[in-house]
A and B are shown apart, each in its own frame.
Chain A
Amino acid sequence: MADIRLVNVSKQFGTVRVIENVSMTIESGEFMVFLGPSGCGKSTLLRMIAGLEDIDGGEIHIGNRRVDELPPSERGVAMVFQNYALYPHMSVRDNMSFGLQNIRMPREEIAKRVAAAAKTLELEHLIDRKPGQLSGGQRQRVAIGRAIVRDPKAFLFDEPLSNLDAGLRARTRIEFAQLHQRMKTTMVFVTHDQIEAMTLADRIVVMNNRKIEQIGTPMDIYTRPASRFVAAFVGSPAMNFLPVQQISDRDGMALVKLPDNSEIQTNIATAHLPNDGQLTLGIRPESVRVDSDGTVSGKSDVIERLGERTLAYVRLADNSVVIAEDEGMSRLNVGDQVKLSFDGGSAHLFDARDVAYSAAG
């Protein structure tokens, strides 16, 4: 178990910069998730920690050792690949023991470790099969087994769930959480799936366009996004964004006037807001309720009935669309006139540079 420290790490492929001056510390025993859209650089960052990509600038430390000049096998990390990368001609047992044979570990010790990992991952009955004879989920477990037997300082997972079907993905996600609780080893997990990130992570690194947008706990990221990108990327359905017509001060907090002249009282300190430039209000759908006493009016465009709740896509007078929630048994229909109430306390404001301003505390 060791911490991982990245200091001003940069990387470019040819003339294209894929990582720009990234610095962060992943604490020992922490489950850190790199979250971001395709091409944001999260997998490259993971591969740089693993040693599969060289870095062009900066330093990488694992534990007390600088590792960026070391080959992958000497960094003390184990990696589970998106496509598992099992050796197709080797049995499950050989796949797991191959790395240990390479370091000339005594046979008895190898056998002991493989047996223990196979038991933990319920692979005992598959131990002599080849990867081609296994299902996707089983291959996934073998890949994890191969990582576990090496007793690494840190586990690196590169989108390991993306090849599984929805049901298996949900089950395996829980297994990952249990694995981390049991092993308490540093784990770095790359995904573009926000549910995986929110459910597994101790902390999330949200990446976009080669840079870190925000590092924080899942709830931090959700409730106090640092930028409009984070606010839009995390949460499903996505956050509503509405143009602000005017900001006024009420008891030190911002009172937002929307284009249809409706007003929303926020808990965002007016003093922190910029004096110039267009502001945008951001509010999550669960903070916008369909309410006959609501102050904002509109017409429902689309109704999505999800069972436990109903989502209404409501078009306001200025033609902007707001996603609002209603109860599961909602009688709302497409085309109905709807009144909405906004819980301004949980709203955010974003300036012209997409920097977020959230409620204090």
Chain B
Amino acid sequence: MSAADTATDVPAPARKKRFNRTEVLAALIFVLPFVVVYAVMFIYPTLQMIWLSFQKAPLIGAGTFIGFDNYEKLFKDRLFGVAFWNTVYFVVLTVVPSTMLALAIAVGINRLKGWTQSVILACFFIPYILPVSVVFRVWGWMFDSQFGILQPLIALFVGENVPVFRTLPLFMPAVAFITIWWTIGFNILLFIAGLRNISPEIYEAAALDGTSRWRQFTRITWPLIWPVTVLVLTIQLIAQFKIFDQIYLFGNGGRSDATMGLVQLIYRSAFQKNNGGYGATVAVVLFAVIVIFSVLQFQMLRARGEK
């Protein structure tokens, strides 16, 4: 018997297939419901939206293909410019301030002990559970130019009552302030979860190392909750780019052309003017902006944290 024969006589070790058919089938069955829902509810509408942006079409019903005409029109549209910059301004006013404020409050709350901690946390979190209509009513009443509870305070500084939501330079900062008040509870919660993840022993080691409070925050606490900070910033960025309700409600009856955001422009084009193609075009641009900004921000901030 030759060496080759010998080799072939030895049975090859049974190779276990990495996946067997039953496993694959089981995996598919588990994943399928989500894939179907995701395809029907997200992928298909997204593709339809992109397709619609190349058409002159009403919101419902057939349209005609017009290539990039909607996009050309969009970049020449003054209202789109206003809506775009209003949205960016709102994002600037809310995302970083809200994150920083939430971090500061979370650090403060984390130092509290026992029931005071729970009560203070609840105080900050309760606004988050309110529907936007209630938030609108509460703050609309508080800022009311005649009877608003805050007007005496405003009058103290500027000498007279100010219709905050009818004064253009104050509109966005006021809505941003209210939005931060409304949503900060969730961010605080995320930061507190992050802070509680840091082992107390690390702070004890820092105490033995003679670390000052400020240095403890800048060199230990913040670097350790940097991933949470990146997460909060990204969630905030996405949420605030989609601003609609607050601007729509507080701006209602005012100069809505001047206070409009991008989602409001989509709503007006598609639902009020029945221009589905143009509305879809604005939506595609907003979608692209959110994806680009959030991915860029997430990657850049994460990279900074890893350095």
Contact = CB atoms under 8 A, between A and B. Distances in A.
A73 B209 contact: yes
A71 interface: yes
A99 B204 contact: no
B140 to A, nearest CB: 45
A71 B201 contact: no
Interface in A57-115: 71-74, 77-79, 81-83, 85-89, 98-99, 102-103
Contacts of B209: 73, 98-99, 102, 146, 150
A150 B207 CA distance: 13
B133 interface: no
B219 interface: yes
Contacts of A174: none
A89 B211 CA distance: 16
Interface string B244-256: 0000000000000
B210 interface: yes
A10 to B, nearest CB: 21
A170 interface: no
A85 B201 contact: yes
B290 interface: no
B204 A102 contact: no
Contacts of B202: 85, 87-88
B207 A52 contact: yes
Given A88-B224, A89-B224, A81 B205 contact: yes
B2 interface: no
Contacts of B199: 83, 85
B224 A102 contact: no
Contact of B208 (A78, A83, A87): A78
A50 B211 CA distance: 15
Contacts, number: 58
B73 interface: no
Contact of A103 (B207, B210, B223, B226): B210
A64 B213 CA distance: 29
Given A88-B224, A102-B212, A102-B215, A81 B201 contact: yes
Given A87-B220, A88-B224, A89-B223, A102 B211 contact: yes
Contacts of A77: 208
B207 A85 contact: no
Interface residues of B, number: 18
* Chain B contact residues, majority secondary structure: helix
Given A98-B219, A102-B215, A85 B204 contact: yes
Contacts of A150: 209
Contacts of A72: 204, 207-208
B205 to A, nearest CB: 4
A102 B211 CA distance: 6
B207 A73 contact: yes
A81 B204 contact: yes
Contacts of A99: 208-211
A52 B199 CA distance: 14
Interface string A142-164: 00001000100000000000000
Interface in B155-204: 199, 201-202, 204
Interface string B213-227: 001000110011010
Interface centre among B204, B212, B224, B226 (most CB of A within 10 A): B204
Contact of B204 (A52, A78, A98, A146): A52
Contacts of B226: 89
B204 A71 contact: no
Contacts of B224: 88-89
Contact of A79 (B208, B211, B219): B208
A123 B205 CA distance: 20
Contacts of B204: 52, 72, 79, 81, 85
A74 B208 CA distance: 8
B208 to A, nearest CB: 5
Contacts of B206: 87
A98 B218 CA distance: 13
A87 B223 CA distance: 10
Given A87-B220, A146-B209, 11 more contacts: A51-B207, A52-B204, A78-B208, A79-B204, A82-B201, A83-B201, A98-B211, A98-B219, A99-B209, A99-B211, A102-B209
19 contacts: A50-B208, A71-B207, A72-B204, A73-B207, A74-B210, A79-B208, A81-B201, A81-B205, A85-B202, A85-B204, A85-B205, A87-B206, A98-B211, A98-B219, A99-B210, A102-B210, A102-B212, A102-B215, A150-B209
Closest A-B pairs by Cβ, 6 of them = A73-B210, A99-B209, A85-B201, A85-B205, A102-B210, A89-B223
